[in-house]
Amino acid sequence: MKLSAEELLEKFSNSTAHPFEVRRIAMMIFDEASDKLFCMPASDRKLLEAAAILHDIGYHIECKNHNKHSQKLVLEYGLAGFSRRETELAACICRYHRGSLPDKEKHEIYSDFDKKERKTVKRLGGILRLADGLDRAHLALIKKVKINYNSKYNIAEFLITPNTPDYYPDLTSAIRKRDLFEIGFKTQSVLKFDE
């Protein structure tokens, strides 16, 4: 019997705070990106939500390459409410939340996707990668994320509102992890605090 994303998380992780925080941030980024950059369907939002919850379950196997182990666990157990193909997409989105970027020449499952599916993995993987970077400290320091898009210069400006005005989280990890978002949405990006 297939398990839901939440049940898989419970099975393979003893900490749910970070995955649920990453999901919350990822949903904000998805909604903003869908509104300002590229309109994405509700089915993509559902895929991203599952991947955000499951992105770190690979730690159950080992820390090193945990993203690849997350992918394997999702594929092995399947996901209730998702087709086999959707499960493969969610598993790949988990894989690309860190580490190497998608490569259709080297990565077996990713290379089996058609062009549209590969774009979906890049976009949603890019959002997940960024959301994970924004909660790098696992302290839930982000209150809100907004995107201003400048079409003339093709720049997505991320405006980050911290939870408290006294403490600004370190954006270094998120800045480093914005690469896949930029590839997926074919835009440059800037991350800054909303004043």
Q: Residue 153 class from Cβ within 10 Å (0-12 exposed, 13-18 middle, 19+ buried)?
A: exposed
Q: Which pLDDT belongs to residue 107? A: 95
Residue found by looking up tokens 């991320």 in the block: 158
Q: CA 72 → CA 9, 106, 130, 132, 169, distances in Å?
A: 14, 16, 22, 19, 32
Task: Delimit the domains of the chain by residue range.
Answer: 5-193
pLDDT digits (tens, 9 = 90+) for 34-51: 999 999 999 999 999 999
The model's pTM is 0.97
- Nearest CA to 160 out of 29, 40, 51 is that of 29
pLDDT band of residue 66 (cuts 50, 70, 90) is: very high
Instruction: Report residue 193 as tokens.
Output: 């605090």
Q: Using CA atoms, how far apart are residues 16 and 42, in angstroms rounded to an integer?
A: 24
Q: Using CA atoms, how far apart are residues 25 and 102, in angstroms rounded to an integer?
A: 22
pLDDT digits (tens, 9 = 90+) for 109-160: 999 999 999 999 999 999 999 999 999 999 999 999 999 999 999 999 999 9
5-193 belongs to which homologous superfamily?
A: Hypothetical protein af1432 (1.10.3210.10)
Contact assessment for residue 97 and residue 132, using Cβ atoms and an 8 Å cutoff: yes
